[in-house]
Amino acid sequence: MKSLISLKYLIVLLFFAEAINPPTAVLDLSEKFLDVKDEGMWFVEFYAPWCAHCKRLHPVWDQVGHALSDSNLPIRVGKLDCTRFPAVANKLSIQGYPTIMFFRNGHAIDYRGGREKESLVSFAKRCAAPIIEAVKENQLGKIKLSARSQPSFVFFGDSSGPLFDAFSDAANAKFSVARFYSVSPSENESTLRQRVVVYKDNMEIEFNGEMSTLKDWVTRERWPGFLQATSSNLAEMGASGKLIVLIVSSESQKFNATSPVRELHKIAEESSNEMRKHPALWNRFQFAWLDGSDLASQIQMATVSESHLFIFNYTSYEYYLSEDEPGQMTIKSILTFLEQTADAIDKGTVIAFGGRHLLTRMKRMVFELYWNIAQMFATQPLLSSCLFGVPIAFLSIICYSICSADFTVDRDEFYGDEDEILDEEEGDELDNSEIDENHEKAE
Ligand SMILES: *[C@@H]1O[C@H](CO)[C@@H](O)[C@H](O)[C@H]1NC(C)=O
Ligand SMILES: *[C@@H]1O[C@H](CO)[C@@H](O)[C@H](O)[C@H]1NC(C)=O
Ligand SMILES: *[C@@H]1O[C@H](CO)[C@@H](O)[C@H](O)[C@H]1NC(C)=O
């Protein structure tokens, strides 16, 4: 017996040695983090031990720690158990788990992207980069090229004065989501006119509003004109204060010449370019496309087909539909639809679907449950059939045996003997046989 117990201990010890062994670049933080968070740069995961998403993130987080320590950037990577240190979670108003934040000299930036190592690392690197990178004029070509995937904001002229201060302010607020550069005049040129431009969609767009609106302008212009919407960037797109014109498209079909998806995709892209000429629409709408109809179906709580267009308000979760069939839509009809919807919203005559009312939220929950189960059957029919079939079969058998069992004991006969049973507290099989006898007699 003794040897068995010591064997158990040995196994436990071995297990722990195994678990402790791999060195980690991730610091285990405690309440003391609150004292040091304003010093330098921190990349921190706030988690709870019971949360399944956190458990999935942990190995990735370890890799992020290694990648960032290899990169020699002065970023410290940590994780903090919020159930052990609730004071920290309170102070930083952490709502859900896992929450990922980057701290740069006291500025806290929420991370909202995907949970893959690559996007986490590139986010941290972006947060750690100089906020405004000074470049030479001959580097602009490269910047324009990289601006195809992510818009770049460039300041031209002497780095001083109120316009530069406004630009710095905007950059400080948005450096985690866009890139900011400054180009100073070269020796030959005595002065370079001060201006701010954004490079995106193969275009150069100059800022020409009031200086105080520069930050809002950056918030609005930080997305390409027509980008892919995912469940993770939809929230931030909504935060830009624009309504989102969503196209249900598909990664695999958007270049398929015979597919109706391609036609709508192309028209939507051209509409977004055309919309530039209409500032009122431009300031109000953002075009985006979805890969597949899942997200759209969840928003609309109905099965949506590919090649479909609707306007979506992320804040209110309301959506607006056009009367035109997707196949008949043209650039002109789409822009007219946007104009009419904007008009109707202003006048309060618009018909909105969806929303965030309690009833709608409940309906959405039920729909999502139904949707997920349907998806399971569609992707893994065999597994799903077993998963749902076996319990349902058991339940049916139980129901069947309960329903078909004979419980029709005559009430009088049974309760007539009640006193007798109560009298004989110790009564055992005898009582039962007596009841049975009575029961039989009754029949
Ligand atoms: C600036 O001056 C140098 C020589 O002084 C000349 O080679 C160069 O082309 C000039 N650049 C511009 C943009 O004028
Ligand atoms: C979305 O709806 C909310 C509530 O109705 C409204 O306040 C907000 O302005 C709308 N967003 C846009 C971009 O129109
Ligand atoms: C292209 O679209 C047509 C019509 O929707 C479809 O039948 C075909 O399979 C698609 N081709 C590819 C390569 O997906």
| DSSP per position, 282-294 | HTTEEEEEEESSH
Among 92-101, 132-141, 362-371, the minimum mean pLDDT is found in 362-371
Distance from C-alpha of 442 to C-alpha of 408, rounded to nearest angstrom: 12
At residue 263, what is the residue type?
E
Residue the block writes with tokens 């020699």? 72
DSSP calls for 263-318: HHHHHHHHHHHHHTT-HHHHTTEEEEEEESSHHHHHHHTSPPPSSEEEEEETTTTE
Q: How many CB atoms lie within 10 A of CB 374?
A: 13
Name the token pair of 409: 């004991």
Tell me the pLDDT tens digit for each residue of 341-356: 999 999 988 888 888 8
Among 150-159, 248-257, 337-346, 366-375, the minimum mean pLDDT is found in 366-375
Residue 416: predicted pLDDT: 44
- Which one is predicted more confidently, 436 or 160? 160
With 0-12 / 13-18 / 19 or more C-beta atoms within 10 angstroms meaning exposed / middle / buried, residue 28 is: exposed
Confidence of residue 146 (pLDDT cuts 50, 70, 90): confident
Mean pLDDT, range 260-285, rounded to an integer: 92
Interval between CA 358 and ligand 1 midpoint (Å): 67
CB 215 within 8 A of CB 186: no
How do strand 107-110 and strand 99-104 relate by DSSP bridges? antiparallel
User: For ligand 2, is residue 171 a contact (CB within 6 Å)?
Assistant: no
Distance from C-alpha of 284 to C-alpha of 201, rounded to nearest angstrom: 18
Residue 414: predicted pLDDT: 45
What percent of the chain clears pLDDT 70, i.e. is strictly above it?
85
User: Atom 5 in ligand 3: which residue has the minimum CA distance?
Assistant: 259
CA 285 to chain centre: 21
Cβ-proximal residues to 157 (8 Å cutoff; 6+ apart), any chain: 163, 164, 183, 184, 185, 191, 192, 193, 194, 195
Of 306, 217, 219, the closest CA to residue 268 belongs to 306
Mean pLDDT, range 117-128, rounded to an integer: 90
Residue 422 has pLDDT above 50, yes or no: no
Residue 435 has pLDDT above 60, yes or no: no
Regarding pTM above 0.85, the answer is no
How do strand 243-249 and strand 308-313 relate by DSSP bridges? antiparallel
First-to-last alpha carbon distance for the chain, in angstroms, is 62
Confidence of residue 384 (pLDDT cuts 50, 70, 90): confident
Residue the block writes with tokens 């006291």? 106
Confidence of residue 419 (pLDDT cuts 50, 70, 90): very low
* Nearest ligand, measured from the Cα of 137: 1
User: For ligand 2, is residue 356 a contact (CB within 6 Å)?
Assistant: no
Interval between CA 192 and ligand 1 midpoint (Å): 15
Residue 389: predicted pLDDT: 81
Tell me the pLDDT tens digit for each residue of 202-251: 889 999 989 899 998 998 888 889 999 988 788 888 888 899 999 999 88
Confidence of residue 104 (pLDDT cuts 50, 70, 90): confident
Residue the block writes with tokens 């892209």? 269
User: Atom 8 in ligand 2: which residue has the minimum CA distance?
Assistant: 315
User: Atom 11 in ligand 2: which residue has the minimum CA distance?
Assistant: 313
Distance from C-alpha of 275 to C-alpha of 285, rounded to nearest angstrom: 9
Tell me the pLDDT tens digit for each residue of 273-288: 999 889 899 989 999 9
* Nearest ligand, measured from the Cα of 250: 3
Residue 276: predicted pLDDT: 87
Residue 172: predicted pLDDT: 82
- Which one is predicted more confidently, 166 or 106? 166
Q: Which stretch of DSSP H or E encloses residue 42? A: strand 41-47
Name the token pair of 206: 């100059």
Residue 405 has pLDDT above 90, yes or no: no
Mean pLDDT, range 169-194, rounded to an integer: 82
User: For ligand 3, is residue 188 a contact (CB within 6 Å)?
Assistant: no
User: Atom 9 in ligand 2: which residue has the minimum CA distance?
Assistant: 241
At residue 269, what is the residue type?
E
* Nearest ligand, measured from the Cα of 317: 2
Tell me the pLDDT tens digit for each residue of 19-51: 443 456 899 999 999 999 888 899 999 999 999
Mean pLDDT, range 397-414, rounded to an integer: 64
Please name each of the domains of the chain with its CATH number.
21-127 (3.40.30.10), 130-220 (3.40.30.10), 224-364 (3.40.30.10)
Confidence of residue 432 (pLDDT cuts 50, 70, 90): very low
Interval between CA 279 and ligand 2 midpoint (Å): 19
Q: Is 317 left (phi over 0), alpha (psi -120 to 50) or beta?
A: left
Confidence of residue 406 (pLDDT cuts 50, 70, 90): low
User: For ligand 3, is residue 208 a contact (CB within 6 Å)?
Assistant: no
Confidence of residue 433 (pLDDT cuts 50, 70, 90): very low
User: For ligand 3, is residue 263 a contact (CB within 6 Å)?
Assistant: no
Residue 19: predicted pLDDT: 43
Helix ranges (DSSP H) in 71-213: 86-91, 117-128, 140-146, 162-174
DSSP calls for 48-70: -TT-HHHHHHHHHHHHHHHHHHH
Residue 88 has pLDDT above 60, yes or no: yes
Distance from C-alpha of 199 to C-alpha of 145, rounded to nearest angstrom: 9
Mutate to test the pocket of ligand 3, among 250, 254, 258 (most ligand atoms within 8 A of CB): 258
Q: Is 40 left (phi over 0), alpha (psi -120 to 50) or beta?
A: left
- Which one is predicted more confidently, 391 or 425? 391
CB 256 within 8 A of CB 264: no
DSSP 240: T
Omega before 98 within 30 of 0, i.e. cis? yes
Mutate to test the pocket of ligand 3, among 254, 259, 263, 305 (most ligand atoms within 8 A of CB): 259
Name the token pair of 160: 């001083």
Residue the block writes with tokens 């607006």? 320
Half-sphere exposure of 423 (CA within 13 A, CB side): 5
Residue 17: predicted pLDDT: 41
Q: Give per-residue burial for 172-187: e unless 16+ CB within 10 Å, then b.
A: eebbbbbbbbbbeeee
Query: What's the whole-number average pLDDT of the chain?
Result: 82
Confidence of residue 147 (pLDDT cuts 50, 70, 90): confident
